[in-house]
Chain A
Amino acid sequence: MKAIEIKNLSKKLDAFHIDRINFTVPKGNIVGLIGENGAGKTTTIKLMMDVIERDSGEVRFFGKPLNKDLKEEISVVYDEINFYEKVDVVKINTILKHIFKAWDTTRYFGLINRFKLPKNKAIGNFSKGMKMKLNIIIGLAHSPKLLILDEPTSGLDPSARMEMLDLFLEFIQNEEHSILLSSHITNDLERIADYIVMMHHGKIILQLNKDELLYRYGIIRCSEKQFQRIPKNVIFAYQISNSIYEVVINNAPGMKEAYPELTIDRITIDDMMSIYIRGEK
């Protein structure tokens, strides 16, 4: 069963074009949507939730097209809090318990206490980290099955980011729960994501099981002469700087065996993205 299934989702906007996007979020997993700022991650999320009308394509949640009842089971958490800066944590509870059927006040304040957020302080005076924590708590308080998070860890210090990752892993303890998490900070996703979807200029360039990505792909740093010997079909992308070739290959174990003289390093998602974006394909 799939928590999210996206087929040929397209939208033409002034700035760019979401171009026939396909990807899935399997139930029980964390999927990381990765791309630079402006790659189309937020637009994709908005298209999925009908915040922006799509031109064509299909989006299904738990096998069904989006409807009011399904929205009870989905939480969208944007990268900033969408409440007026003068309201406080208590008022947010009062507002949202009248919107979500399953809103759980006890759970909400439980999490508020756990993260030591002040209850009667205007949220405009919260730090960036506190705002993001509150935002995620809001997303969790009506016990959704699916969390869709847009850049939830950007602007947070490392310890706050760790706390967020813990919260996500806690959420996923239930096998029925799933997370789609967009980010341009690949470090966090490299840790906790099960699948990686890479996006660039409104297109999906790669989607893969995270471990496959990290252990099947590799990076070769070599001279031009050595580069010529690398079979073209294993090259995902490459870039040349100071006459050194940095080549991302899609079959590191095979290449290690076939070309023991080449140094093949482990790859990070960051390397992969930046070489793809700035280099040759």
Chain B
Amino acid sequence: MDIFIKKNSQLPIYEQIVEQVKYQISEGILEPGSSVPSIRALAKTLRISVITVQRAYDELVKEGFIETIPGKGSFISENCLVFFEEEMTKKLEYHLQSVIKIARQLDISIHHVHDLLDYFNQGGDSDEGD
């Protein structure tokens, strides 16, 4: 598992670890069932404190991305992709809610928002080409 810590990032180190693990899961770099380094080993590799990695792992376990089997170590959970999708859905919902909130504040009709969504979906966003 390759994780790179940005020292001057606004994001706390444990969040950087969480984000990178999730990213690697979504990209298929980390596969369900594959083992991840122990907390202490990762702390050593990254030259950071044990509690920082502990906190990141705690969060990943809590959200279901990592499973810890006593005596065997930690693994990427079999359902990690489900959890990832769930989280992405939540993220999407959250952003959509913000969109509606902003639209209401600016008195933009929901129909206009729909139109905007259609427009971006049909290639208004040039990154989505091909």
Contacts and interface: CB of A to CB of B under 8 A. Distances in A.
A211 B40 contact: no
Contact of B10 (A165, A166, A214, A266): A266
B123 interface: no
Interface size class of A (residues with CB under 8 A): 20 to 34
A30 B51 CA distance: 9
A166 B47 contact: yes
B48 A191 contact: yes
A209 B44 contact: no
A192 B49 contact: yes
Contacts of A28: 50
A38 B103 CA distance: 60
Contacts of B68: none
Interface stretch (A11-19, A97-105, A167-175): A167-175
Interface in A117-164: 162
B55 A30 contact: no
Nearest to A162: B47
Nearest to A265: B10
B65 interface: no
A23 interface: no
B50 A30 contact: yes
B40 A29 contact: no
B12 A210 contact: no
B44 A173 contact: yes
B23 to A, nearest CB: 21
B14 interface: yes
B47 A194 contact: no
B14 A165 contact: no
A169 B43 contact: yes
A169 B51 contact: no
B82 interface: no
Contacts of A266: 10
B35 interface: no
A272 interface: no
Given A211-B55, A214-B12, A175 B40 contact: yes
Given A29-B51, A173-B41, 16 more contacts: A28-B50, A29-B50, A30-B50, A166-B47, A172-B43, A172-B50, A175-B40, A191-B48, A192-B43, A192-B48, A193-B49, A195-B51, A210-B49, A211-B12, A211-B49, A211-B52
Sorted nearest first, the 4 A-B pairs with minimum C-beta distance are: A169-B44, A194-B51, A194-B49, A173-B40
22 contacts: A29-B51, A30-B50, A162-B47, A165-B47, A166-B44, A166-B47, A169-B43, A169-B44, A170-B44, A172-B40, A173-B40, A173-B44, A175-B40, A191-B49, A192-B48, A193-B49, A194-B49, A209-B51, A211-B13, A211-B14, A211-B55, A266-B10
